[in-house]
Structure 1
C-alpha cells in the first residue's frame, strides 16, 4: 500500500504543488506556530517527513538557515522536486524515507516535523511516537493532519443515500493526544476547520485524484452508478459551489529533559 501511495503522489507532483491549497494553508500555519520555538531548540538536525513539494520545508529553510536539515518523503519524485526547489539552500540534505520504518538507536534530532502526512500512516500515533523517540530531550515534534471529523458534507450525502462513506479513515485526535502524552512530554494541540469550495462534487473528487490524495486504503469503492448518484445528490444540495470542510489538527509535543 505504501508503494501505491508513493506512486500516486509521485505522478502528481506538478498538480500537487499548484493545487494543494489546503495543504499549503496548513503548512503556513504550522510554520507560524513554530516561530516562538525558533531559538530554544536543543542542538541537532531537523528531520522533516512527508515533505511533499516543500510547503513546510520552505518555512524551515527560512527559520533555520544554519541548522542541518534532513528533508524526506515516501515518494522519490517528491524528494527530487524538493531537491531541485531548494538547491541553493545551505545545510540541507534530501532522502527517500518511509517514516513508518524509521529507526534510531538514540535521539538525535533537535526537531522532527510532519506536515499533513500522518493520515497516510497505518498507525498515526505509533509513527508519530517514533518521531518523538528520535527527538532529543528539550526538542519538539511538530505535526499537522486532517482529523476524523473531516468531510461532514460528503458523509451526510452518503448517509442520505444509504451509501458507504468511502473516504479513508483519518486520525482520531483524542487517541493520538492520549498516546503521545505518555512519558516525559508536554502536548499542545489545536483544532480548526478549513473550508474549500469546488464547482461541483465531481471537481472535488477529481481534485483529490489529481493531487495524488485519491488512494483508497481499504473497503470497497463505489460503483460508477453509485458515484454518479452521490455526485448528483451532493450538487443538488447547493445552488452554486459545494463546500468541503477539513477538520485540521495542529500538534506540538515537547520532549522534556529528564532529571
Structure 2
C-alpha cells in the first residue's frame, strides 16, 4: 500500500481520466447500461421542468446525452473535474469544470433533478458530498445516483486471497452507509443490480479498466510475475475466459 494524501490521490484520478477521455465512450458499456436504466426511472418520476437539471461527474456526457435524447425540450448541465472529458461532449448544453470533492458552486441552486452515474465512489467524503447535493434541490426535486458497491469483483478478491497477493482494486461503498443521514421518507428507492463482464483473459480485463481511466490505486503496480499468477488462478469459464462481477446500487432521494 502506498501512502497518498487526498490531494495527490485526486490528482492521480484526474490525470487518469484526462488520459482516457478520448477513448472512454467506446469502452464504457456498463456506464451506458446504467445510464439507460436511470433514464427509465426519470421517465417514471417526471421531474419538474422549472428547476435546473444537472449531471454530476458527467464524463463525456453519456447520461446527460441520454436524458436530453428522451426529454428533447430539457437541457442538462454537465459538471466534471476532467477538462478533457467535458471537451469530448459535443452538446451545446452548459458545461462546468469543477472538482466535486468541493461543495457545488453557490450559483447552483433550485435544481429539480441531479444525477450522478459512476462518480461518487471516486470522491473523498461521499456521505458529506451527497448532503450538499441534496441541499441544492427544490422541494419535490430528485437526486439519482448509481455506483459500484463493496460486493463488486469477488473473483478478483478471492484470487488475490488465494495466492496471497494484495488486492489492488478500489474498495467501493456500503450502500446503507451512504444514505444513513437521510430520513426514510426521503429515500424513494434503493436497489442493487448485478452486472457481469466477460474477457478473454485477465490482461484484457485489466486493460478494460484502464481504457476508462479507472485504474487509480493506492497499491504498488503488479509485476509481470504477479499478473501471470493472477491469470493462472483466476476462476475460468468452460471456454477459458474470465468474468468480472459488478454489483451496482441505484438510489433515488426526494426532497420533501
Q: TM-score, normalised by structure 2?
A: 0.88
Q: How many pairs does the alignment contain?
A: 247
Query: Match for 1:73 among 77, 80, 85?
Result: 80
Instruction: Report the equivalent of 1:227.
Output: 227
User: Which deviates the most, 152-161 or 57-66?
Assistant: 57-66
Identify the residue that residue 148 of structure 2 maps to in structure 1: 146
Question: How big is the shift at 1:31?
Answer: 1.2
Gaps of 5+ in 1: none
Offset, 1:50: 1.0
1: distance between equivalents of 2:245 and 2:185? 35
Residues 94 and 220 of structure 1: CA distance in aligned 2, closer, same or farther (over 3 Å): same
Paired position in structure 1 for 2:101: 100
More displaced 10-residue stretch of structure 1: 53-62 or 109-118: 53-62
Residues 1:6 and 1:238: Cα distance change in structure 2 (over 3 Å):
farther
Cα offset, 1:236, TM superposition: 5.7
> Any stretches of 5+ residues in structure 2 without a counterpart?
1-8
In structure 1, the residue matched to 2:193 is 192
> Hey, what's the Cα distance between the residues in 2 that align with 1:146 and 1:168?
10
- TM-superposed deviation, 1:255: 0.7
Q: How does 1:233-252 map to 2 (within 5 A)?
A: 233-234=233-234, 239-252=239-252
1:220 CA drift (Å): 4.0
RMSD: 2.1
Q: In the alignment, does 2:41 pair up with 1:33?
A: yes
Residue 16 of structure 2 corresponds to residue 4 of structure 1: no
Deviation at residue 159 of structure 1 after TM alignment: 1.3
Determine the structure 1 residue equivalent to 2:170.
168
CA distance in 1, matches of 2:238, 2:162: 15
| More displaced 10-residue stretch of structure 1: 49-58 or 146-155 | 49-58
User: Are the structure 2 counterparts of residues 183 and 189 from structure 1 closer, same or farther at C-alpha, using a change threshold of 3 Å?
Assistant: closer
Alignment match, 1:203: 204
* Aligned partner (choices 115, 124, 127) of residue 126 of structure 2: 124
After superposing on structure 2, the runs of 4+ consecutive aligned residues of structure 1 that deviate more than 3 Å are 63-68, 103-107, 219-224, 235-239
